[in-house]
Amino acid sequence: MKLKYLFGAALMATTLSVGQAEPGKHLSPELLLSMARLGDAALSPNGKTVVYALSQPSVKDNNSRSELYTVNIDGTARTQITATKSNEYAPQWIEGGARIAFMSNETGSMQLFSMRPDGSDKKQITDIEGGIEGFRFSPDGKQIAFVHQIKYGKTTKDLYPDLDKATGRVINQLMYKHWDEWVETIPHIFVASLGNEPIKQGKDILEGEPYEAPMKPHSGIEDFAWSPDSKSIAYASRKKEGLAYTLSTNSDIYLYDLASSKTRNLTEGMMGYDTHPTFSPDGRYIAWISMEHDGYESDLKRLFVQDLKTGAKSFLTDAFEYDVDAMEWRADNKGLYFLSCVKAEKNIFEVDVRTHKVRQITSGQHNYVSLQVESGQMLAGRQSMLVPTDLYQVNIKTGEAKAITQENATLLASLDGSPTVEKRWIKTTDGGNMLTWVVYPPHFDKSKQYPALLYCQGGPQSTISQYFSYRWNARLMAEQGYIVIMPNRHGVPSFGKKWNEQISGDYSGQNIQDYLVAVDTLKKEPFINPKAIGAVGASYGGYSVYYLAGHHEGRFSAFVAHAGIFNLEMQYMTTEEMWFANWDMGGAPWDKDNKTAQRTFANSPHKAVGAWDTPILITHGEKDFRIMAEQGQAAFNAAQMRGIPSQLLIYPDENHWILRPQNSLLWQRTFYGWLDKWLKK
């Protein structure tokens, strides 16, 4: 085991001038949910001014209000430019910086508006029935592309008009549900000319095609782009329906020509996800993120570039074994900036188009989550486990970063101390080295004993990086007096392909051993009470909790599972994205000759309920179509029938994530109430 370094107190020192710490005050669920949250931000074309959205949750009103602000790139002159009863989102600079475009729901649906940078002279640009979900102005300023939902398939009322009060759905094919919705609409990209506002309709560039662009459930405007000459639009789409759609991740990048209305596939023969098309400033090249394998949604995200004149493709990050996220072209067309998570820290990099050489620009124990470059200035969003997202001005040459916003500095400075984040490397049972974050409570005293929590990550291919979560918040856990153990077990990205791919087809294998070795290593420390350790997690982390409940050999005194997989066979046949189930489970339960699949289903957590002996809290949302709520109900029923202390918290109106403010606060209170009951005796 190697002790790398400590982090936390020094960062808090930078904010103490903002306010005075209050003795005994610690971060609570109520304070966490009161924090302001940064939304989209945009840097003006001259690189001098930033406009950004800032939302303020209200537990009392059970909603959140979003307004727009501007601030100079050096952090001065912060100004609120909207103050309405509606919500304003997604600001973009238009007309060379003379105006700001943004979305607002003030008319009852989300529409596009514009105003001057001081908030005056507001004008409505669209009046689309049903609203829009995203927009991009053409570079010449004469057109807009926007996302709008269109009807998909026939409803019961279409089939039987006389049954206008019938609520049943007649279903003939997959995928009839996705994430948290019944699929009755799909997003398409529309184009409209400016000059006669408000615009009430546009031209559907996928007219007659029953495909999504952007792709559900989480894609947005990052998946389409205007060419610099404003003559074409590149977009990502998975042009499949029914069973083929639910089995495949093979999307492509398409180029739509506005004059001819013709579309061509730029990535024909590339079999995985192809997303995030981005044109070079001169329009000659297009870059995008590409995965190699069909059906593997957690494949390595590779950066590709195509010469639109010759058609030649180039794999720019061929020597870089880490995911590429958001990217931005350099002004000279010779390289790109991008985000990548390496060893659980997400930083800014650049790659040279000709040499493929990658240079790391920033470093440190944090996550950069966005970037934009205008007139030589780089704007980036940054967060850590201890501090939510703020905006930074980044020196492209040195990587030095200066905070532009400190939206929650006063609240954080009022807290009595800060948790400390330690980076440890723990030897795994197969000889590997596992980065494990250990988060200590404020004013940690190694002469005392503390209860501890093993945090089991979901995904399953999802890194425990330096993210700040409003649900599973490491700082909040530590501020309640827990030492938090967060292992980046096998099966998470940012540690190379081999490490990431281990978990596919082996949910109960090496990664579970990684959890156990992390706990066994840390509980040897005299400051951890070995009789007061809990295991908590969501999604695959919830699966891990259910599995550990039957195989922990007395290591844990309490469990919390949210949206977890309890019965793998039931999960295979009830989830919506079947490519995910096929790849991660290895195949179908009826495929008796498939050794990988049969091993997976043989190790389903529900088969070890007979060994359960530890109190467990189970939470789930009934709108969760990824992992159905019946999984949580089955686990709770089993625990009850076994006489095990157990509790079920279930939401009829939440999906895989608990998002509404009062529901979130109920979840946090129930979560800590359960843990405190069993671990702080």
pLDDT digits (tens, 9 = 90+) for 607-617: 999 999 999 99
- The percentage of the chain sitting over the pLDDT mark of 70, rounded to a whole number, equals 97
pLDDT at 17 over 50: no
Per residue, the 3-state secondary structure of 390-426, as one string, reads: EEEEECCCCCCEEECCCCCHHHHHCCCCCCEEEEEEE
Range in 11-20, 379-388, 492-501 with the lowest mean pLDDT = 11-20
601, 606, 609, 613 alpha-carbon torsion, rounded to 10°: 110
Ramachandran category for residue 311: left, alpha or beta (phi over 0 → left; psi -120 to 50 → alpha): left
Give me 413's structure tokens: 């400075």
pLDDT value of position 237: 99
Contact 168, 156 (CB under 8 A): yes
Query: 406 pLDDT band (50/70/90 cuts)?
Result: very high
Query: Strands 111-115 and 123-124: what pairing?
Result: antiparallel
Say if residue 35 is preceded by a cis peptide, omega within 30 of 0: no
Q: Which of 252, 490, 624, 664 is catalytic?
A: 624
Contacts of residue 269, Cβ cutoff 8 Å, sequence gap at least 6: none
Record the tokens describing residue 620, joined without a space: 């789930």
Is 14's pLDDT higher than 80? Answer: no
Q: Is 326 helix (H, G, I), strand (E, B) or coil?
A: coil
The yes-or-no verdict on residue 52 having pLDDT over 80 is yes
Q: Are 557 and 571 within 8 A, CB to CB?
A: no
Type of residue found at 145:
A
**How confident is residue 681, by pLDDT bands cut at 50, 70 and 90?**
confident
Q: What pLDDT is attached to residue 19?
A: 66
Query: pLDDT digits over 302-341, tens only?
Result: 999 999 999 999 999 999 999 999 999 999 999 999 999 9
Is the CB of residue 533 less than 8 Å from the CB of residue 454? yes
Q: What is the pLDDT of residue 18?
A: 54
For residues 5-31, give the mean pLDDT. 64
Query: Span 526-535, mean pLDDT?
Result: 99
Task: Choose the catalytic residue: 26, 490, 562, 656.
Answer: 656
**Cβ-based burial of 31 (10 A; exposed 0-12, middle 13-18, buried ≥19):** middle
pLDDT confidence tier of residue 5, bands split at 50, 70 and 90: very low
pLDDT digit string, tens, across residues 552-598: 999 999 999 999 999 999 999 999 999 999 999 999 999 999 999 99
Domain boundaries, the chain: 491-567+604-679
Model confidence over 458-494: pLDDT tens digits? Answer: 999 999 999 999 999 999 999 999 999 999 999 999 9
88 three-state secondary structure:
strand
CB 487 within 8 A of CB 518: yes
- Check residue 599 and give its pLDDT: 98
Mean pLDDT within 244-270: 99
Q: Does residue 1 surpass a pLDDT of 50? A: no
In angstroms, rounded to a whole number, what is the distance separating the alpha carbons of residues 43 and 40? 11
The band of 11, judged by pLDDT with boundaries at 50, 70 and 90, is very low
Answer positive or negative: Cα dihedral of 327, 40, 621, 613.
Answer: positive
- Please give the pLDDT value at position 412: 98
Tell me the C-alpha distance between 201 and 104, whole Å.
18
Structure tokens at 457: 């990550």
To which residue do tokens 């008319």 refer? Answer: 107
Euclidean distance between CA atoms 419 and 442, whole angstroms: 4
Residue 12: pLDDT over 90: no
Of 239, 179, 197, 23, the residue nearest 94 (C-alpha) = 197
- Buried b vs exposed e over 533-569: b needs ≥16 C-beta within 10 Å? bbbbbbbbbbbbbbbbbbebeebbbbbbbbbbbbbbe
Q: Determine contact, residues 229/214, Cβ cutoff 8 Å.
A: no
CATH of region 491-567+604-679, choose from 3.40.50.1820, 3.30.499.10, 3.40.50.880, 3.40.50.720? 3.40.50.1820
pLDDT at 82 over 50: yes
pLDDT of residue 387: 99
- What is each CA distance from 348 to 150, 264, 316, 342, 361, in whole angstroms? 37, 32, 16, 10, 5
Catalytic residue, chosen from 539, 557, 604, 646, is: 539
What pLDDT is recorded for position 20?
80
Residue 552 falls in the annotated catalytic set? no
So what's the pLDDT on residue 47?
98
The answer to whether 356 is a known catalytic residue is: no
pLDDT tier at 349, thresholds 50, 70, 90 = very high
d(CA 557, CA 530): 9
Average pLDDT over residues 78-102: 98
User: For residue 6, what pLDDT band results from cuts at 50, 70 and 90?
Assistant: very low
- pLDDT band for 16, please (50, 70, 90 cuts): very low
The question of whether 656 is a catalytic residue gets the answer yes
The mean pLDDT of the chain is 97
Interior angle at CA 273, CA 499 and CA 659, nearest 5: 80
Residue 2 has pLDDT above 80, yes or no: no
